[in-house]
Amino acid sequence: MGNHYFDKPDRNSNLEEKLERSHSLILYNDDHNEYNFVIECLIDVCKHTECQAEQCTLIAHHKGKCDVKRGDFTTLDEMRNGLIIKGINAEVVNNN
């Protein structure tokens, strides 16, 4: 019976992954944008599929807000700016 060596998980890569997903882009419900417009914006700005965009829009409508994307602050802040320019209320929050 020989020695068996197992690779230990790389703790740095796990930490890097957590840091990359440490922020959330939150979409807030409003009374002035149509569903289809919000869906189109999520597809355009956040690169959602049509199904993802529809689900996020419905969640925001019924719950008041929806976590539409997770990632690093810089990327999400650019998306937030893109949504704000289109008249959609969104913010980036830190998950830590």
Domain annotation for the chain: domains and CATH numbers? 21-94 (3.30.1390.10)
pLDDT of res. 21: 72
Question: What is the mean predicted confidence (pLDDT) over 86-92?
Answer: 98
pLDDT of res. 42: 98
Asked whether residue 52 carries a pLDDT value surpassing 60, the answer given is: yes
Residue 57 and residue 35 in contact, taking contact as beta carbons nearer than 8 Å: yes
**Distance between CA 76 and CA 33 in Å, rounded?**
21
Mean confidence (pLDDT) of the chain = 88
Whether the pTM exceeds 0.85: the reply is: no
pLDDT in tens, 40-50: 999 999 999 99
